[in-house]
Structure 1
Amino acid sequence: MLLYNLIFPKTAYTFFGFTGYENRSIMPIIRQSLIKDSTSATNIEIETYMAAIGFMKARADGCFENPQSLVWDIVPRNVLKDKDGNIYIIYVEIKRK
């Protein structure tokens, strides 16, 4: 969560609380701000945005990297665009290199 928030601060996760399942597990509840009047971003918009924040397209679709991190699953279903054209990454997978 911390790495995500550093890379994508406009859609940072905040901790909301905990939930559990039949007293056998504890799971954190996290949330993000609502992006009103949004649509899915196109692949070209995603690539342009990721380049602007220092990531280059990697070997697979939806995969980007910079010298420190590898980020994947950046596809239209996980990226929103608001009515002003601002891009918001709402869900991705991230790992440090």
Structure 2
Amino acid sequence: MPRSRSGPGTTGPTSSSTSWTPVTVTTGYKTELIKPRKPWHGLADVELGTAEWGDWFNNQRLHTAIGDIPPHEHETNHYAHHQPRPAAGVNA
């Protein structure tokens, strides 16, 4: 399945080449989810949309700084290649 730079409910492509701070995450959330999908029909709709957007942001969005792969995939690859070493004097 091809990966998309757009998240659930977005109106256009998203570039992840910038550093995401809490402010930019909130702005992106409002721009990509809240505004395009209004009017919302209640808190339950907002909560579900937020969960979907959070999943996309953390697990599916492509991030140019890490080779156009999703952050979750990058983290999985990192830990697969960097297993913690046992502490000195501990028999494994």
TM-score under structure 1 length normalisation: 0.27
Higher normalized helix content (fraction of residues)? 2
